[in-house]
Amino acid sequence: MTLANACAPTGTITTQEDIFIEGGPEFWFGGVPKYNPDSDGFYWGITGTANTPAYKVGCYEDFRFRDNITMNDVSCDQIGVKQTIQKRNFVDVTFTLKSLLPFTVLTHLLKGGAVTQNATEGTEKFGLGEIDNTIFHMCFWSRIYNSDGDCINWTGHRCQFVDAWELATPWGQPWTVSNIIMRCFADDAKPDAQQFGTMIRYDPSVIH
């Protein structure tokens, strides 16, 4: 055995690229499916319509994407734990919001009511009442990672804003709404491998 064979695997090997993605993605929710599906059978992208507009989230910080999994160990008396059964429950997107206007976007993030715009008064109004648990959105985030416009994106098919938020109003600093959580639930109308969402990379110079 040569030293090279002793120190590294042989055969077909895929190595990772020296491409490092930084910064927060652009983030939208609402709309209707754009590719439903595409030529490869993938469901992704959103497009806004008059009846179902897409909303773009403005300034935010600390955008995070977190998986939620239940794990149950399979144990045997003679050897202990032999396997762990994993079940995905949902995927959460969390962030702290700094762009509070217009109310037509904010009301969805705060789980508020419909917005009334009064052109005579120059006002926007919405209420906070009972939460409508039947409202679901699509969500889409995308990050361009080089000057060629190559990007990575995520589409959530059945998403809902959940949990309690907090509005902070510190002196001399921007107001922020913390603990904004969009939860991506399983969509059983989608293929099993895409129920919680779909991730797409666009990079023709590398993928060809």
pLDDT of residue 1: 55
Domain of residue 47 covers 25-202
The verdict on residue 71 lying in a domain is yes
pLDDT of residue 103: 97
pLDDT of residue 190: 97
Tokens 């060629």 -> residue: 148
pLDDT of residue 7: 82
Residue 81's DSSP bridge partners are 75
Residue 139's DSSP bridge partners are 29, 156
The verdict on residue 1 lying in a domain is no
How many domains would you assign to the chain?
1
pLDDT of residue 2: 63
pLDDT of residue 66: 96
Which runs of E-coded beta strand occur in 18-57?
26-30, 32-35, 44-47, 54-56
The verdict on residue 193 lying in a domain is yes
What's 41's DSSP letter? S
The verdict on residue 81 lying in a domain is yes
**Cis status, amide bond into 37, omega within 30 of 0:** yes
The verdict on residue 7 lying in a domain is no
Q: What is the pLDDT along the chain (208 residues), one digit of tens a residue?
A: 566 678 888 889 898 988 899 999 999 999 999 999 999 999 999 999 999 999 999 999 999 999 999 999 999 999 999 999 999 999 999 999 999 999 999 999 999 999 999 999 999 999 999 999 999 999 999 999 999 999 999 999 999 999 999 999 999 999 999 999 999 999 999 999 999 999 999 999 888 8
The verdict on residue 20 lying in a domain is no
Residues 128/115, Cβ–Cβ less than 8 Å? no
Distance of CA 172 to the CA centre of its chain: 31
The verdict on residue 13 lying in a domain is no
Residues 87/70, Cβ–Cβ less than 8 Å? yes
The verdict on residue 9 lying in a domain is no
